[in-house]
Structure formats: structure tokens, C-alpha cells
Structure 1
Amino acid sequence: MTDVTMQDGCARKCWITAAVFGLIVALFALGGGKGFFAAIVLALITAGLLGSLFTWLSCAAVPQLSERSPMSSLAPAVEGEVPTMPDTVTAEPATLMTSQEVPPVEDLPEPAPAAAAAPEPAPAPKEEIPAKPETVAPAATEEEEAQPEALASPRGGEADNLKEIKGVGPKLESLLHELGIYHFDQIAGWSASEVAWMDQNLKGFRGRVSRDDWIGQAKTLAAGGETEFSKRVEEGDVY
């Protein structure tokens, strides 16, 4: 009997057994109140699963190991026999040198002369930074502000009525007295720098000296003359 015939018989037995189990499941299903169609489906499923399982477990072909080659086929080594190594061929030095002959020193090429070193570039001339001209402080001129010469007290103990100068009221007259100015000729002799100083230092009355022409009025009054404003002051029309 061949292996194929044995496998067919095994598979047939497995499926018959599975069918019996399926029939038993169908009977239990009918007894349990299941319908006929449901019992048939359960029987087929049970028979199919169990048939496949039994066939795989019982009828699968078992692979056979290949026969090992007998040890007798191998040629045994003769005891005590030592394998001989091939004789080493010694090459003559002359034969080995024929393939790679060293050329004589005279035949070697001369080394190429080294390239002449490039001259270093000349350093760029440094830009000269022009020196800044020294700042010379301007010399003092006569036009600079200068405080007019002051008197400690009026000459002869009596001061001129500075209110006769248009623009000089009682308050400004008191301020002029504090600065040592008591007479017309003092004001008439002021230079431009002294006028500038007075214009800047009369608190509350800056610029009054130039604006009201104190110099011109003071010169007239210092010479004994009168102005329209001084007449009004003497008549009591002002202040």
C-alpha cells in the first residue's frame, strides 16, 4: 500500500468522525428548541472544523530525514602519517630583480626648480589724517559786556533825578542806585559793552536802555538841557 492510499483512508476516517460529531450537535440543537435550519448549519460548521482539525493532526505527512552518508565511505587517515607540505620554491635573487630593476641614479629625472617666490606686495601707504586746526580762543574785544563804573554814593550827597529819562520810573531809579548809578553823566558816558551789560542785568527791565535811548537823553540832561519828557516830569505831569 502506497503512502497516498494510506493518507486517503486516514482523511476519510477523519471526515466520517467529524460528520458523526456534527450529527450529534444537530440532534442537541433540535432537542434544545433550535430550528431545523439552524441545526443543519451548526452540524455543517462542526463537521467542517473538526474534519479539518482531525485531518491535520492525524494525516499530515511527516518529513523523513535524509540518509547520512556512511562513515565507511570516508577514507580514513593512516595513523601516524603526517601530511607533507609542498616544497617551498626558493626564487633566486637575480630572477626576482629582473621584473623590478632599480634604475641608476644618473637616469633619475632632475627635480624641477622651485618656483621663484613672488615678491611681497608693497604695503599700501597709510592715509594721512589732516590734523584738526587748533581752536584759538578769540581775543577779548571792547564790544564784550562790561559792567559800568559804579559810585559808592552820589557826588555832593545829591543824586540827579533819573526819572527825567524816559523809561526810568521810581522802581527802576532805585535799581540804578543799587548798581551805583546816580548821575546823568554816568549814563551818558556808557560804552556799547556797558549798555549791553545793563540791558542784560536790569531785572524786569531788560533791553530798556537801548529801546528808550537812555544815552541820548542823558547827554542832553547832563549838559543842562531839557527834553519834552523831562519838562513833563518837572511840571509834575508824570509820577
Structure 2
Amino acid sequence: MNSESGSLTCMVFSYVIGGAIGALGAAMLIILGNWTGGQALFAAVVLAGVLGTFFAVFLCGKSSGPVRVGTAGSTAQPAAPARPETPAATASPAAAPQSVAPAPAPAAEPAPAAPVADPVAPAPVSAGEGTRPAGLDAPREGGADDLKRIKGVGPKLERLLHSMGYYHFDQIAGWSAHEIAWVDENLQGFKGRVSRDNWVDQARLLAAGGDTDFSRRVDGGDVY
């Protein structure tokens, strides 16, 4: 006997039992409850159906049990083994920042050699008080006068006056008060010497061909 015929027999048996109980119940209702035959028959059918279904479910029901993988007739396919997850690609480490060597500082240009100072630098034009006297680019024909014959004018101061354009007695003799003030202010290292030693009066006398006590000493070689 296969499983299907066994299940059918169990179900028939369950409803037979249910019908028997239903019939017994109907008889009890007619005898004890004074029910009519139709009422009792209807109750018996309902009771037989309910009990038969109950017995069929709880007596004949069989669990199919766990399905074995690989058994004959089984349609369940074995679960495919889980594939290991592909490991994430190893992230390449961030490239270390290349250390950039600082650009070499430009070589300092050598400081220009200081010009060799002339023993007497030309006097700069000052914006101070007074008016600058007119000068010459070079001495007149015959050469410059010996300005050292003026008391207070030594060799260095003579070179300074030449650099300012003054070579002759008559130039100094013609200086006005404003011009004297300008020269006094711009004689670098000798400021005030024109007024203090009275150059203009000496120059007037020397320009006219005269002599002074100091000029005679210079001419005699007693001073320089």
C-alpha cells in the first residue's frame, strides 16, 4: 500500500467516525432535547463534517519531513557554496609627496667696488642759503692762478675750488655776499673759511697785481 492510498483510507475512517458521532448526537437531541427529526438530522450532518475534518487533519496529516539533499525524487538543488568575496583591491598607498628642494637663492651680485675717492671730491650743489657763483669748466689761457697765495687756502682746498670751477683771483674777488654765503656753506670740510679768512679782499688785491704778507711768504717758499 503506498502513501496516497493510506492517506485516503485514514480520511474515510475519520469521516466515518465523525458521522457515527453525529448520528449519536442527533439521537440524543431527539430523545433528550425533543428536537424534530429534520433538526436533529441537520445537526448530525454539521457535527459529522466538523468532526470528520478534525480527525482527518490531526490523525491523517503527516509532515513530509526534511528533504535530504541528494535523495532520489528530490527536486531541491543543493545550495551552491558561497563564493568568497573577492577581496577589495589593495589600495595603492598614496604616493608620498616628493620633497621639492627649494630653489637655490640667486647668488648675490658682488657689490660694486667703491670708486676711489678723489682727494677732493667736487662740492655738490646745495639748496641752502645764498647763490652759487658762476664757475669755469677749465682755467683760462695761461693756467690757473696760485690760489694758495690766499691765506686760508691750502693745497687741498685749492683742488676743491678747482673742482667747483674757481681757478682765478678775479673770480673770487667778484663774489657778492650771497655768493660768499653759498661757498661758505658748500666747502665740504672747510665751511665758513671764505668769511673767516676774508678771501674776497685778499683776492681783489692779488687780482690787481698786489701782494699780501701771506702771499709774499708763499712766494718765498716759507709756507708750502
Fold similarity call, TM over 0.5: no
Give the TM interval when normalised to the shorter protein: 0.3 to 0.5
**Given the two structures, how large is their TM-score scaled by the length of structure 1?**
0.40
**Given the two structures, how large is their TM-score scaled by the length of structure 2?**
0.42
